[in-house]
Amino acid sequence: MREIVLDTETTGLSPAGGDRMVEIGCIEMINRCETGREFHAYFHPERPMPSEAEAVHGLSDVFLSDKPKFPERADELLVFIGDAPLIAHNAGFDFGFLNHELERCGRDPVCLSRMICTLVLARSKHPGAKHSLDALCTRFGVDRSQRIKHGALLDPLTPAERPVRPARPHFASDEEISRHRAFVARLTQPLWERFLPAA
């Protein structure tokens, strides 16, 4: 199963109030394992960066001044996320900004049925506990030493800072196959015989 873990950074809290997305980071996972594929982009917000927002993510007007505007990379982003479920912490926030940017440039919004919110999951699994990203990292033993400021490629999957390891082969040896066949041969009236076609 393919899933995308994502995060955004913005100029503020309200796309309806004129705030814009300035960064997005997406990490591809197949069967809950990182593949090493990612999409990451900074965007010129076409408005000044408030000092409060810059204090959170460190993205200044000067840094963003030569970055592309969202429409310039929208199609590339849409191709990357495809039709996969999208996982984010406080996903409603990220979806709100993503869909606002898509609608601004004439693209269809991402369907909310694709949204998986880790904040909602954490509240359900650990009611009454702290559910910030830092709190979850502490709870599950995730190293966040690199996370000095928020970042759209660092926040979505903090363990992604670890190198991606290739899948380990899991093949039965000839001896294991032989022992398995001998074991199966000793079974009497195995359950699966009920479902075999008549000889």
Per the confidence metrics, is the pTM higher than 0.75? no
CA 189 to chain centre: 47
Q: What is the domain partition of the chain in residue ranges?
A: 2-161
The catalytic residue positions are 150
Structure tokens at 94: 């990220």
Written as tens digits, the pLDDT of the chain (199 aa) is 999 999 999 999 999 999 999 999 999 999 999 999 999 999 999 999 999 999 999 999 999 999 999 999 999 999 999 999 999 999 999 999 999 999 999 999 999 999 999 999 999 999 999 988 888 888 888 877 766 666 666 655 544 444 455 555 667 788 888 888 888 888 887 777 777 776 5
DSSP string, 90-146: THHHHHHHHHHHHHHTTPPPPPGGGEEEHHHHHHHHSTTS--SHHHHHHHTT---TT
State the fold for domain 2-161. Answer: Nucleotidyltransferase; domain 5 (3.30.420)
d(CA 55, CA 35): 32
